Chains A and B, each alone.
Chain A
Amino acid sequence: MSLENTPLASGLEAPPAPKRTRFEEAWRLFRRNRMALAGLVIFALFFFAAVAGLALTSGSRPLLDPSAVRLQEKLRPPLSMPQAASLQPGELPAFGIYLFGTDDLGRDVFARMLQGAWVSLTVGFVAVGISVAVGIFMGGLAGFYGQRHIRLEQLLVTAVLLTGAGLLATGFRSRGALLLVAGHAWLFWSISPWGLQRWKALPPGLGLLRKNTLMVDTVIMRFVDIMLCFPSFFLILTVVALLPASIYNIMIVIGLTSWEGTTRFVRAEFLSLREQDFVAAARALGVGNLRIIFRHMVPNAVAPVLVSATIGIASAILTEAGLSFLGFGVPPPHATWGNILSDGKRFIFDAPWLTFIPGAAILIVVLAFNLFGEGLRDTLNPRLRERN
């Protein structure tokens, strides 16, 4: 027992090279970049403000009520005291002061900003979460299984299923349902052991169905090219305008229109990683494909994804603010930074704080994410890492 604690034993057991873990090394590099550090601090503050905002402004009797209308108190400048005489006791703002002033309906801008912080935070994270998930999936597929071919029958099943779904969506219910059922039956038959057996004994005419057509990589990368042809803000605007107004639709639409970059990164990383020795070693040990992908390759491919995700959060927040500004997005009583600014622009000369407070908030948060992302890029870049 005591042998483990002697200097000799621990000297033998300890790995000789790195004294610091990977994380410590990254943190040491990151700390030197003061702008990125400031970005991280602002990000933390923003996160707490958004969570606090959710806690304080929701519920039936919130501490800070973002939708309480006090018409006699409209357009009060920031840091002004409420006129207690004209208000009901329940209408007084929290802390007894209008920290950020009031808007044209006398609503407390501080409470509205807190409510909007949560919207910005969730839009940023959920949209980027969706786009990263789609991007890793598509990029991984193209990078790892890219050289495989799609068989003709698989294309046919996909076409049948898509046509069925399309018919169902456009109103031909019976025909659409029929096609969907037929497609699924085909799928189940072909993956069932019975189906696998039967493929080998097919009549020669049906052997055509087993012909290889396109490569997986070609299909996915051409799809990326197609998606990149759309002007993205215009596409988002169109889809958001057609769908019913809701914050979830915005998150999904932003997420589903911004995965192309991640797909390209992940594909490139996977293409180079799958030729590396450690992947060959894992395969030689008989490790399964899924375990190779998720245990060995994804952790090594995650650095550029992390960087682009951080910067993606910044641009998702900007896009959501732009949509709210144009009047799409979260339906009115709910506040977002974009629609506070959009409502305030009519009073731009009389009540400039209604423009400047949300505008500055968006600027600071987006800037923080951009600086943090760039700092991360420098930190994770192995060429800049010191050898010691």
Chain B
Amino acid sequence: MIAFIGRSVIQKIVTLFFVSVVSFAIIHIAPGEPSQVDPLNPKFTPEMVERFRQAFHLDRPLYVQYGFFYRDLLSGQTLSWKDNQPVLHKIWERFLNSLPLFIVGTLITWTISFPVGIRSAIFRGGAYDRGATFISYVLISIPGFFFAYMLIIFVVSQLHVPVIGMQTFGMTGTAWWFRVNDRLWHMLLPSILGATGGIAVLSRYVRSQMLEVESQDYVRTARAKGLPWEMVHYKHALRNALLPFVTMFGLILPGLIGGSVIIESIFSWPGLGRMAYEAILARDYPVILTINFIAAVLVLIGTFVSDILYVIVDPRIRL
């Protein structure tokens, strides 16, 4: 076990190093330079550009820039090129805005997909199963932005609740329950949208896991010896079908950062995805690279955690 942990930590650090090199190379070899972003701005005189290039080491060779950048990142003092704010601080603020969306979205995903998946597996081939299958294909196929506008039209015109942003303007000073209510309304649509794709994929996965276990010999034995129906499905089958999902706790970690660009920009939600989008538009390389780096770290930690959980949960797996 210790050997496995050590080996995989070293492997992940090496991977992370290459990720940092590749992302740095992609961004810096691409044509265009941040100092040329706004040539019409009268403040961007050639002297200013030169000062800017010097302040951010842009006049040095690439490998020196790489060294400077990751030294700053690891010691936590990277500055954004756009407003000279510390990048980690900016990311932390936005992260706190994205976090509630992520948590509510994940809760919705997991509470809906398990019952749906289990039920369609038990009544395999029935009307419920076929309906759920079709709906989950629709949910996978629907473009997020189109679904978002359909929901906006519905909520705004039928329920008369404004939904753009994090809160209604001018709500400060009202009683706290109004503010909580308002915040919940604003969170509802983005988190539902964040959950739709997940519900579709996860419920299909639950269904196939459940079917796989239901075809095992011990389930047939349980049924043959006359155990009650619920006992067979929920005690013998379900418990074993749940096994791989424990490991998915690790795999949802990267979702903290990715996949929310479109939804957050539709709902003007000041979260991480929107910040990444703005940074890309402004060619704010430190922010882009830092978000990328954190995302890679989360992916690696996620796979590591899920590997470890697998070993803990499943006694058949030995290292």
Q: Which residues of A contact B262 (CB under 8 A)?
A: 322, 325-326
Residue of A nearest to B147 (CB): A359
B19–A363 touching, CB < 8 Å: no
- Contact of B152 with A348 in the complex, beta carbons under 8 Å: yes
> Is the CB–CB distance between A242 and B15 below 8 Å?
no
Say yes or no: B31 contacts A234, CB within 8 Å.
no
Interface string of B47-70 (1 = CB under 8 A from A): 000000000000001100000000
Contacts of A222 in B (CB 8 A): 14-15, 18
Q: Is the CB–CB distance between A170 and B62 below 8 Å? A: yes
Q: Once A and B bind, how many residue pairs between them come within 8 Å at the CB atom?
A: 128
- Chain B interface mostly: helix
A278 within 8 A of B: no
Q: Which residue of A lies closest to B257 (CB)?
A: A231
A214 to chain B minimum Cβ distance, whole angstroms, is: 12
B258 within 8 A of A: yes
- Convert B1-43 into 0s and 1s, putting 1 for each residue whose CB lies closer than 8 angstroms to a CB of A: 0000000000000111011001101111111100000000000
- How far does the alpha carbon of A342 sit from the alpha carbon of B143 in the complex, in Å? 12
The complex places the Cα of A113 from the Cα of B221 at a distance, in Å, of 57
Bound complex: CA A226 to CA B26 (Å): 14
Are A226 and B29 in contact (CB-based, < 8 A)?
Answer: no
Chain A residues within an 8 Å CB radius of B29? 166, 169-170
Q: Is A341 an interface residue (CB 8 A)?
A: yes
- B291–A229 contact, CB under 8 A? no
Interface check B202, CB cutoff 8 A = no
**Cβ-defined contact, B146 with A362, below 8 A:** yes
A232 to B150, alpha carbons, bound, how many Å? 26
A297 interface hit (Cβ, 8 Å): no
Verify A322–B145 contact, CB threshold 8 A.
yes
| Residue in chain B with minimal CB distance to A368 | B141
Set of chain B residues within 8 Å of A234, measured between Cβ atoms: 257-258, 261, 276, 291-292, 295
Chain A residues with CB under 8 A of B234: none
The answer on a CB contact under 8 Å between B146 and A359 is yes
B62: A residues at CB distance < 8 A = 166, 170
B259/A366 in contact, CB under 8 A? no
Q: Pick the contact of A359: B14, B15, B149 (CB < 8 A).
A: B149
Number of residues in B with C-beta < 8 Å to the partner?
51
What is the bound-complex CA distance between A141 and B153, given in angstroms?
51
CA distance in complex: A235, B143 (Å): 19
Interchain CA distance A345-B257 in the complex, whole Å: 26
Known: A170-B62, A231-B258, A234-B291. A355 touches B146 (CB 8 A): yes
Tell me what chain A mostly uses at the interface: helix, strand, loop, or mixed: helix
CB-based contact A322/B143 at 8 Å: yes
Please measure, in the bound complex, the distance between the C-alpha atom of A231 and the C-alpha atom of B32, giving whole angstroms.
23
A228 contact from B32, B140, B149, B299, Cβ within 8 A: B299
CB within 8 Å of B: which A251-295 residues: none
B137 at the interface (CB under 8 A from A): yes
B122 sits at the interface (CB 8 A): no
Q: Which residues of A contact B30 (CB under 8 A)?
A: 239, 242-243
Q: In the complex, what residue of chain B is closest to A362 when comparing beta carbons? A: B143
Q: Does A27 contact B (CB under 8 A)?
A: no
Contact of A355 among B15, B149, B283, B299 (CB under 8 A): B149
* Minimum distance in angstroms from A39 CB to a CB of chain B: 9
**In this assembly, does A349 line the interface, its C-beta being within 8 Å of a C-beta of chain B?**
yes
Alpha-carbon separation in the docked complex, A358 to B283 (Å): 31
Task: Return the contact of B138 from the options A243, A342, A367 (Cβ within 8 A).
Answer: A367
Contacting residues of chain B (255-307) with chain A, CB-CB under 8 angstroms: 257-259, 261-262, 265, 276-277, 280-281, 283, 288, 291-292, 295-296, 299-300
B144 at the A interface (CB under 8 A)? yes
With an 8 A cutoff between CB atoms, is A115 at the interface?
Answer: no
Residue A60, interface by CB 8 Å: no
**B92 within 8 Å of A by Cβ?**
no
Question: Which B residue's beta carbon lies closest to that of A243?
Answer: B30
Contact B22 A366 (CB under 8 A): no
The residue that B27 contacts in the complex, of A226, A242, A367, with Cβ under 8 A, is A242
A362 to B145, CA, bound (A): 11
> Which residues of the partner chain A approach B32 to less than 8 Å between Cβ atoms?
242
User: Which chain A residues border B27 with CB–CB below 8 Å?
Assistant: 238, 242
What's the nearest-Cβ distance from chain A to residue B135, in Å?
Answer: 11
A244 contacts B31, C-beta separation under 8 Å: yes
- A349: chain B residues at CB < 8 Å are 153, 157
Taking the complex as formed, is A318 at the interface, i.e. its CB lies under 8 A from any CB of chain B? yes
Shortest beta-carbon distance, B275 to chain A, in Å? 11
Smallest CB-CB separation from B26: which chain A residue? A239
- Could you say which of A35, A166, A231, A358 has the most chain B C-beta atoms within 10 Å of its C-beta? A231
Q: Is B134 an interface residue (CB 8 A)?
A: yes
Tell me whether B295 and A229 are in contact (CB under 8 A): yes
Q: Which residues of B contact A243 (CB under 8 A)?
A: 30-31
Given contacts A170-B62, A226-B18, A370-B141, contact A345 B31 (CB under 8 A): no
CB of B143 within 8 A of CB of A230, answer: no
A225 at the interface (CB under 8 A from B): yes
Contact of A370 among B137, B281, B300 (CB under 8 A): B137
- Taking the complex as formed, is A106 at the interface, i.e. its CB lies under 8 A from any CB of chain B? no
Quick check: is A321 within 8 A (CB to CB) of the other chain? yes
Q: What is the chain A residue whose CB lies nearest that of B262?
A: A322
Residue B244 interfacial (CB < 8 Å): no
For B288, the chain A residues whose CB sits under 8 A away are: 238
- Least Cβ–Cβ distance between B26 and chain A, in angstroms: 6
Of A229, A342, A352, which contacts B296 at CB under 8 A?
A229
A248 at interface, CB cutoff 8 A: no
Cβ–Cβ < 8 Å partners of B242 in chain A: none
Nearest B residue (CB) for A241? B280
Instruction: Write out the residue numbers on chain B whose beta carbons fall within 8 Å of the beta carbon of A225.
Output: 15
Say how far A388's CB is from chain B's closest CB, in angstroms. Answer: 21
Q: Are B292 and A359 in contact (CB under 8 A)?
A: no
* B142 located at the interface, meaning its Cβ lies under 8 Å from any Cβ of chain A in the complex: yes
Which residue in chain B gives the minimum CB-CB distance to A165? Answer: B29
Let me know if B141 and A314 touch, CB within 8 A: yes
9 cross-chain pairs, A with B, having the tightest CB-CB distances, nearest first:
A359-B146, A231-B258, A242-B30, A367-B141, A366-B141, A229-B296, A231-B295, A241-B280, A229-B19
9 contacts between A and B (CB under 8 A): A166-B29, A170-B61, A229-B296, A230-B295, A231-B254, A322-B144, A326-B261, A363-B146, A370-B137
Given A166-B29, A345-B149, A349-B153, 5 additional A-B pairs, CB 8 A: A170-B29, A226-B19, A229-B19, A318-B143, A341-B146
